[in-house]
Amino acid sequence: MNKISTKSIQSQLILYFTIAILVPTIITSTVGVKLIKDQIITHAESKTISDLNSAREIYRNKISHIESITRLTAARSLVIHALKESNSSFLQKDLQRTLQRENLDVLTIVDKNGKVLARGRNAKLFGDVLKEDKLVKRAISTNRIVSGADIVSREYLMKESPALAGQVFMDVTRTQKAKPRKSLKETSGLMLKAAVPVFDDNGSFIGVLLGGTLLNRNFEIVDKIKETVHEKGIYKGREIGTATIFQNDLRISTNVKNADGTRAISTLVSEEVYDAVLIRGERFVGDAFVVNAWYISAYEPIRDIENNIIGILYVGVLKQPFDDTLSKAILTFLGIAMGGIILIIFIAVHQAKKISTPLRKLEEVAKKIEDGDYKQQFIVKAPREIERLSASLNQMAKQLDQEKMELEAWGEKLEKKVEARTDEIKKIHAQLFRSEKLASLGKLAAGVAHEINNPLTGILTNASLLLDDLPKEDPRHEDVDVIVKETIRCREIVKRLLDFARQTKPQKQLVDVNSIIESIILLVRNQTSFRNIAIQKNLSGNMPEIMADKDQIQQVFINIIINAAEAMSKSGTLTIDTLLSSTKDFIMIKISDTGHGIPEHLREKIFDPFYTTKENGTGLGLSISYGIIEQHGGEINVDSTIGEGTTFTIKLPIYSQESD
Ligand SMILES: Nc1ncnc2c1ncn2[C@@H]1O[C@H](COP(=O)(O)OP(=O)(O)OP(=O)(O)O)[C@@H](O)[C@H]1O
Ligand SMILES: [Mg+2]
C-alpha cells in the first residue's frame, strides 16, 4: 500500500510560500541594512571630517587674529619711536593697554638682538634676551612675520606672569587605553604666537613685537568650533558636537564635559590615536568612547613652525543620533519587510484555502463514492483544474450509479430466470417421476388385468346364461343379476386398467379438435348428470388441424368433462375454450367448471393412478389422460380455486415430433 502523506496541501503551500518570501526578504534585509549602515556611517564620518576642517579654520583664524593685533601694534609710530629710543616705560604701558584690550596673554617687544625692552604683562622684568623663542628668532633672522603654535616652558611663562604658569599646570588624570607617560605633571603650555618685525621710518629693522595666547584652559577656540559647527546642539541631554585641543597627548582645552558638568581636561589621548597622529602624523577618523558616550571622532596633528607635531586638534560628533537614525531606518525597513511577509502569508493562506477547501470536499465525495453512495451531485467553486476534476468525479458517480442499477436489474432478472428454470426442472422431474410410476404401474396393471380378464369373461358368460335361464320370479334371479352387474363393473375396471396400461402408440392423423369437442358436447348434453349444467363453448375460428389420435384425444376430453360435471353435482357452468398460441406452434384447450375446486396439496396427486375421492371412481381417468397427452408431446395443467372452480389446460403441438 502506498504511504499516505501526512502533510496537507494547505500547510505545504504555506510552507513553500513562506520560504519563497523569507529567503529573498532576509537577503534584501541584510543587504539593505548594510547599505543603510554604510551610508549613514559614511555620512557621519564625512560630516566629522568637514567639522574638523571647520575647526582648523577657526584655529587658524585665531592665529591670524593674534597676528593682526600684533601687526597693527607694531606699525604704530609711537611704538616704533619708543623702540628706537629704547623707551621701556612707555612701551610697557602702551603694550599693557593693548594686551588687556585685546585679551592677549603675552605682548612683548624686543630689539633687533632679541633683548626684551618691555613686557605688556610684567612691568618689572625687561633687559633679558628672548633668543630661545623660535618665532622671535626666525622673525629676527628673516625680518618677516612668523606665526603659529609653540610649546612654552614654565620658565618662559614665569617671566611673563606666575598666573600664566599656574594656568598651564596640570596634574595628569590617569586615562584607560592611554600610552604610559613619563611625567604625570604638566608644567609647559601650548601658545599661539605671532612675531612681527618692527621697522623704523627708513625701513630698517629695529626689533620684534611678540603677541601670544595660551591655549591651556582657554576654551575660546573649542567653544567657537562647537558653536559654528553644531550651534550648541544637545541630543538627549548630551552635546552633539565636541572639540578638543591636545598639547601633545594631554587634553588642555575641551568642551567635553565630565559627569559633574566640569570640562574634562587633563585626561590623555588613547594610544591608538597617539600612534596614528602624534607618531605617524596622520589624520585619524573613527569611533571613540569619549568620557561617557560614543563619538565619531576626527583628529589631526597641530604642528609648530618647524613642523614638529606638538598637539592634536580634535572634533567629535555624538554617535547616538546616527545610531538612532540607523535603527529607525532599519526598523522602518524591517517593518515594511514584515508587513510584506504578513501580507503575502495572508494571501498564501487564502490561496491555499481556495485550493485545499474544494480538494477536501472532493475527498469527502470520493470517500462517499467509495462507500457506495453514487447519488450525490455536487458543485465545487474552485480553480479550473479542480472544477474539471469535480466534474469528472460527478460523471463517474453518475455512471457508477447507472451501472449499479443495471447490475441490480440484471441480478433480479437472473434470479427470476433461475427460479423459472428451477420450477421447470422440478416440473420435469415430477413428470419424469410420474411417467416412470405410470409405466411400472401400467405393466403391473396390464399383467393383472390380462390374468383377470379371461376368468372374468367366463364368470360373466356363465352368469349371463344363468340369469337368462332363471325366471324373474326366482328368488336367485336378483342375486345372479347382482353377480352379472358387478362382473360387468369389474370388466369395466379391467378394461380401463388395460386402457391405462396399454400405452399403445397413438394412431395419429389430422384431426379437428373443435369438431371433436362439438361431438362430445352433443353426446353428453342429454346425460342426466349434465341436466343442470350450462355448457358454454368459445371455440377459436382459426384452429388448425393437428396430428393426433382422435380416439385417445376424445377420451381425454371426455374424462375431464365428466370430472367437471361430477364436481358440479347440483348446477354450474362448463366452459370450453380453444385457441391457437401466438407462436402458432401449439393449440390450447381450456375446460373450466364452477365446481368445488381442488385443494392445493392435492393438485399433484389427482394425476396419480387410483387416486380418487369418489365412491365409485377408479382414480384412473386423469392418469390415463395424462399418459395420452404426454404421448402426444403435449402438456396438461390444472388451476383451481376452492369453492369457485377448476380449469384444466391442455396444450397440444400442431406437429408432433413423430409426424415431423
Ligand atoms: N373438475 C374437478 N373438480 C374437482 N375435483 C376433480 C375434478 N377432476 C378430478 N377431480 C378429482 O380428481 C380425482 C381423480 O379423478 P379421476 O378422473 O382420475 O378419477 P375419478 O373421477 O375419481 O374416477 P373415474 O374417473 O374412474 O370415474 C377425482 O376423484 C376428484 O377428486
Ligand atoms: Mg374421473
Which residues are within 8 A (CB) of 1 and not within 5 positions of it... i.e. 6 or more apart?
none
Quick check: CB of 640 below 6 Å from ligand 1? Answer: no
**Model confidence pLDDT, tens digit, residues 447-476:** 777 778 888 888 889 989 888 988 888 888
Nearest CA to ligand 1 atom 23: 617
**Model confidence pLDDT, tens digit, residues 51-79:** 899 999 999 999 999 999 999 999 999 99
C-alpha dist (Å) from residue 252 to 155, 230, 246, 308, 553: 19, 21, 6, 18, 159
pLDDT at site 572: 94
Q: Are 535 and 568 in contact (CB under 8 A)?
A: no
242: number of Cβ within 10 Å: 27
Number of domains in the chain: 3
Nearest CA to ligand 1 atom 8: 563
Quick check: CB of 611 below 6 Å from ligand 1? Answer: yes
Are residues 600 and 488 both part of a single domain? no
Nearest to 107 by CA among 167, 63, 160: 160
Whole-angstrom Cα distance, residue 384 to residue 120? Answer: 102
Are residues 342 and 413 both part of a single domain? no
**Model confidence pLDDT, tens digit, residues 76-115:** 999 999 999 999 999 999 999 999 999 999 999 999 999 9
Q: Looking at residue 121, which CATH number applies to its domain?
A: 3.30.450.20
Domain end position, chosen among 503, 527, 543? 503
What distance, in Å, lies between the first and last C-alpha atoms of the chain?
67
Least confident of 14-18, 64-68, 324-328, 401-405: 14-18
Nearest CA to ligand 1 atom 10: 563
Nearest to 215 by CA among 170, 279, 176: 170
Sheet holding 533-538, edge to edge: 533-538, 572-580, 586-592, 645-653, 635-641
Are residues 577 and 608 both part of a single domain? yes
Domain around 444: 372-503
Q: CB-hemisphere CA count at 13 Å for 536? A: 8
Q: Pick the ligand that lies closest to the CA of residue 599.
A: 1
Whole-angstrom Cα distance, residue 650 to residue 541? Answer: 18
Cell output for 95: 603694550
Q: Are 63 and 147 in contact (CB under 8 A)?
A: yes
Greatest C-alpha distance within the chain: 232
Quick check: CB of 620 below 6 Å from ligand 1? Answer: yes
Are residues 427 and 353 both part of a single domain? no
Compute the distance from residue 606 Cα to the ligand 2 centre, in Å. 10
Specify the pTM. Answer: 0.53
Which residues are within 8 A (CB) of 499 and not within 5 positions of it... i.e. 6 or more apart?
555, 620, 624
Q: Looking at residue 545, which CATH number applies to its domain?
A: 3.30.565.10
Of the pLDDT bands very low, low, confident and very high (cuts 50, 70, 90), residue 424 is confident
Are residues 415 and 533 both part of a single domain? no
Cell output for 84: 628706537
Nearest to 630 by CA among 543, 552, 516: 552
Domain end position, chosen among 469, 484, 503? 503
Cα-Cα-Cα-Cα dihedral sign, residues 329, 332, 335, 337? negative
**Model confidence pLDDT, tens digit, residues 178-212:** 888 888 999 999 999 999 999 998 999 999 999 99
Q: Pick the ligand that lies closest to the CA of residue 614.
A: 1
Compute the distance from residue 540 Cα to the ligand 2 centre, in Å. 26
Sheet holding 116-119, edge to edge: 116-119, 106-111, 205-214, 189-199, 146-152
Of the pLDDT bands very low, low, confident and very high (cuts 50, 70, 90), residue 504 is low
Whole-angstrom Cα distance, residue 310 to residue 300? Answer: 11
Average pLDDT of the residues of the chain? 87
- Tell me, rounded to whole angstroms, the distance of Cα 110 from its chain centroid: 97
Are residues 314 and 169 both part of a single domain? yes
Domain end position, chosen among 470, 503, 536? 503
Are residues 410 and 497 both part of a single domain? yes
Are residues 444 and 547 both part of a single domain? no
Are residues 495 and 573 both part of a single domain? no
Helix (H, G, I), strand (E, B) or coil at 191: strand
pLDDT at site 25: 80
Nearest CA to ligand 1 atom 7: 563
Nearest to 220 by CA among 95, 69, 65: 65
pLDDT at site 426: 86
Cell output for 6: 501526512
Quick check: CB of 599 below 6 Å from ligand 1? Answer: no
Q: Pick the ligand that lies closest to the CA of residue 602.
A: 1
Are residues 181 and 298 both part of a single domain? yes
- Tell me, rounded to whole angstroms, the distance of Cα 323 from its chain centroid: 43
Compute the distance from residue 617 Cα to the ligand 2 centre, in Å. 7
pLDDT at site 600: 92
Are residues 53 and 83 both part of a single domain? yes
Of the pLDDT bands very low, low, confident and very high (cuts 50, 70, 90), residue 331 is confident
Quick check: CB of 647 below 6 Å from ligand 1? Answer: no
At 93, give phi and psi (nearest 5°).
-65, -45
Quick check: CB of 164 below 6 Å from ligand 1? Answer: no
pLDDT at site 430: 74
Whole-angstrom Cα distance, residue 243 to residue 297? Answer: 9
At 299, give phi and psi (nearest 5°).
-125, 140
What would the mean pLDDT of 243-251 be, rounded to a whole number? Answer: 93
616: number of Cβ within 10 Å: 6
Which residues are within 8 A (CB) of 638 and not within 5 positions of it... i.e. 6 or more apart?
598, 603, 606, 646, 647, 648, 649
**Model confidence pLDDT, tens digit, residues 32-46:** 888 888 888 888 888
Are residues 474 and 331 both part of a single domain? no
> Percent helix, strand, coil in the chain (nearest 5)?
55, 20, 25
Task: Give the position, in ligand 1's atom list, of the atom nearest the Cα of 613.
Answer: 29
Q: How many residues would you count in the chain?
A: 660
